[in-house]
Amino acid sequence: MTQVWQWTAAQTATAVRNKDISATEVTQAHLDRMAEVNPKINAVVQQFPDEALSAAQKVDQAIARGVDPGPLCGVPVTIKVNVDQAGHATTNGLQLQENLIAEADSPVVSNMRKAGAVIIGRTNTPAFSMRWFTKNNLHGLTLNPRNKAVTPGGSSGGAAAAVAAGIGAIGHGTDIAGSIRYPAYACGLQGLRPTLGRVPAYNASAPDRLIGAQLMAVSGPIARSIADIELSLMAMSAPDLRDPWHVAAPLTGGEFPKRAALVIAPDGMPVDDEVKAALRLAADQLKDAGWTVDEVRGPPMRRAAETNACLWMADTQLAATAMIEKEGDVEAQFVFEQMSNDAGDVGQEELMSALQTRVSLMREWDMFLQDYPVLICPVSGTLPFDQQQDVQSPEGFAALYEAQLTQRAVPAIGVPSLAVVMGETAGRPNGVQLVGPRYREDILLAAGAVIEAASGQPKAVDPNWG
């Protein structure tokens, strides 16, 4: 019999709603799973079992009264430690914020609660949420349950590692340069970066974000099925007046042409043969399902990635340089130095130019995505990186940074993108990235469901690598 922690969110919500199992029993099963496997992978770094069981009991009580708790009825979820959850520290992987206790839930947390989800823990992120690897001086190193020699990704590496190991059906993540899509890819899962403004965001524990983060950072789900991505997006995207950027756009946008563009090596980025093979296989799977797929050059990625770097570093150089020094995380300092060298000093002229370029790029991308509602491209130019590969040398970081071109480009445009797993190659997860028009996540989910049906839905694994 399938273990409860292997169930999808959709299966769990249905079973709890139908009283086949109680939310309390589901939560306890996941807490037991956490106790079993989390010491091996260090994905969940803040635990509160009594609070989780109390929330589950409230779900059961609502059902007993004949009240539907919501679409995530009794589903165990995790929240990343860089967003506010009342009563817990918003550490963002920093010793400096170890005691920064949130007084109120962020919108994404309150939306998950209102949807009936049960929060069972908070997941690790690198210091400042600034790497595609997950390690910091406060919470330590997170391992990938599928292969401990491989990064679990970052910055939402704890979220992805937890879901891959069966600690919760849905992991909340954030993404400003791939921090949802890359951990999903590295841990063999599905991960959605929603359209800018789709999921409301706000941390009362900190000052409002500067312009780069306002225009590029989003929250979104990591899960083991496309159906769960859709279900969690429905929950996360409920309106909240605390975020002026939020747009209450419908989650479905009507009919669309089943036409996709295949872009093997965007703007000439290096792409390994194993990744190219996955891209061509995904294209064939869509063709078999009745889609038209054309191999094309695609819209600009490199200028978009450069715009991302300018906007992000404008924020970081202004607001976080002193904190990065004070925190004393040498790996974060190294990564920040490499990223700053790439972007250069960003002053007013550079920032204004980047904002102007962004509008031009958005126009060009919007026109392309009108013709091709799905763009198929690499999540990364290589299979998932070795653990700690980014801090070995400046030359190694530069090569890694280039491999992540698509991760860095998409946020600058503000469009949604979906990482879809396609099994493993040489013991490492492999997959593709789908990019679509603004507020048309439904198109990406439809295409992702085709690929998932052909490639197989990922399952939770035991981290039994010794």
Instruction: Report the catalytic residues.
Output: 80, 155, 179
Asked if the peptide bond before residue 205 counts as cis, ω within 30 degrees of 0, the response is no
Q: Are 59 and 92 in contact (CB under 8 A)?
A: no
- Least Cα distance to 124 among 144, 108, 104 occurs for 144
Using CB atoms within 10 Å of the CB of residue 245, give its burial: 0 to 12 exposed, 13 to 18 middle, 19+ buried.
middle
Contact by Cβ (8 Å): 113, 105? yes
- CB contact set of 210 (below 8 Å; sequence gap of 6+): 314, 315, 318, 319
Strands 292-295 and 259-262: parallel
CA pair distance 259, 350, nearest whole angstrom? 37
Per this entry, what is the length of the chain?
466
* Among 116, 127, 232, 215, CA closest to 173: 232
**Residue that has been written with the tokens 């999903």 in this structure:** 184
**Rg of the chain taking only CA atoms, in angstroms:** 20
> Could you tell me the maximum CA-CA distance found in the chain, to the nearest angstrom?
62
Distances (CA, A) of 309 to 82, 196, 398: 20, 17, 14
Is-contact 6 166, C-beta < 8 A? yes
- 466: which residues sit within 8 A by CB, 6+ positions away? none
How far apart are alpha carbons 266 and 91 in whole angstroms? 36
For residue 245, give every residue at least 6 positions away whose Cβ sits within 8 Å of its Cβ, in sequence order, or none. Answer: 196, 197, 200, 201, 214
CA distance 356 to 452: 38
Helix, strand or coil, per DSSP, at residue 136: strand
